[in-house]
Amino acid sequence: MIPFSPPHIDDKIVEEVVAALRSGWITTGPRTKSLEQKLADYCGISRVLCVNSASAGLELMLRWFGVGEGDEVIVPAYTYTATAEVVAHCGATPVMVDARPDFLIDIEQVQAAITPRTKAVIPVDLGGYPADYDELFAIVEQPSVRAQFRPNGEVQHQLGRPLILADAAHSIGAWYKGKRAGAVADISVFSFHAVKNLTTAEGGAICLNLPAPFDAEEIYKLLCTYSLHGQSKDALAKTQIGNWRYDVIDTGYKCNMTDVAAAMGLVELERYDREILPRRRAIFEQYAAAFAGDSRFQVPEYATADKTTSYHLFLLRLAHATEAQRDAVMQAIFEQEVAVNVHYIPLPMLTAYKQRGYEMSHYPVAYDNYSREITLPVYYDLTDEQVAQVIAAVKKATDKVVGAK
């Protein structure tokens, strides 16, 4: 069986994790701080805070911005539940908009969805392909949008417009107009979950890129505290002789990254551009070459003059197929010992969102993308021979269900 997305665990990772375990310091400490600095350098920004998941990072930043009851946050219908769930956790309303055929959030629909209650927009770099940030910033910076923005608290007052908070769970290493993912939106949050391009088993990172006069250093310090119960000193600082007294400045959260996890991340980041991304790119190119010339398939857009993906998910679509036919093609692929997936079942099709009144019929493009989509395996350890096997399995399954080329 060719699995869908096994983690790349080698001796180097094992040795670094063991070194962290033997170091005498296993929770947030020197390795986490080092990973934060290296991530900031990698993205070309001054400050990154590591946390224990992207979901926690997104929620922490919505709360930092003061999003709450009565507020609206615009999210795409075509994403993983985490993007909208964090909005609901804050007591605010996720306002869903449709996708475009390139899977990204529909800019015109964002414009139409803005109201005086809109506090943030959470675009998703789906599959690692960056959303259209210049267009999103143009929307939130319009004088009419600024004029109707009703700030609640100091932070919102300082920004004076809705926040662009990128769900960059997939897009570490992607490029947008000469900038790395992480250095484009006001705030971007990466995920280091086990299936993501760069993993710490579970983990995430918050990239701070707010405009002046926001001070990244000051916000970083505040977030360190908020990610650790609102406690004024972290556990490492408290171990210094005589440094036991602490205060709690607010009711905070608990979402710090451990040094055991950071040990994995340090190894992964060090070889990410040199080894991981080139391999993922080569696999994307093999898939694109194999399916582009066959009119039964639609190959995803993943690089233009302005944007380059992080090669996270290869979102193949059948050119013409019903949802049932797609399901049958997937079944026939599985029967050939190849694991594939669907990214994503749009949120309005899921029970939790249906119960809240979201209706799939309002998101026709998201449905169309979903109903024809099959995600192919992409990972460092997938060999060229296995890539050929995946391609053959997909074509054979399509022959069977849809008909020959």
Ligand X SMILES: *Cc1c(COP(=O)(O)O)cnc(C)c1O
Q: Please, which of residues 115-144 interact with ligand X by CB under 6 A?
A: 124
Query: By C-beta, is 81 or 336 nearer to ligand X?
Result: 81
Nearest to 122 by CA among 157, 78, 183, 154: 78
Q: Are 201 and 264 in contact (CB under 8 A)?
A: yes
Region binding ligand X by CB under 6 A among candidate stretches 149-157, 164-172, 222-230, 250-258: 164-172
| Closer CB to ligand X, 71 or 167, in the complex | 167
Taking the C-alpha atoms of residue 138 and residue 111, their distance in angstroms, rounded to an integer, is 10
Q: Could you say which of 13, 40, 45, 54 contacts ligand X (CB under 6 A)?
A: 54
Considering the complex, state which of residue 8 and residue 117 has its C-beta at the smaller distance from ligand X.
8
Question: Does residue 191 interact with ligand X by CB under 6 A?
Answer: yes
User: Among 31, 193, 296, 317, which residue sits at the site for ligand X (rule: CB under 6 A)?
Assistant: 193
Is 204 one of the binding residues for ligand X (CB under 6 A)? Answer: yes
First to last CA, the chain: 26
> Do residues 269 and 38 make contact, with C-beta atoms less than 8 angstroms apart?
yes
Residue 196 CB, nearest distance to ligand X (Å)?
A: 6
The correct pick among 98, 167, 186, 234 for binding ligand X (CB under 6 A) is 167
Return the number of the residue (161 or 312) whose C-beta is nearest ligand X: 312
Among 28, 32, 83, 209, binds ligand X (CB under 6 A): 83
Report residue 97: phi and psi, to 5°. Answer: -125, 160
Cα(180)–Cα(28) distance, rounded to whole angstroms? 26
CB 403, min distance to ligand X, A: 33
Q: Which two tokens stand for residue 54?
A: 């992207």
Q: Tell me: does residue 82 bind ligand X (CB under 6 A).
A: yes
Residues 6+ apart with CB under 8 A from 87: 62, 67, 73, 75, 93, 94, 122
Nearest-Å Rg of the Cα atoms of the chain is 22
Contacts with ligand X by CB under 6 A lie at 53-55, 79-80, 82-83, 124, 167, 169-170, 191, 193, 204
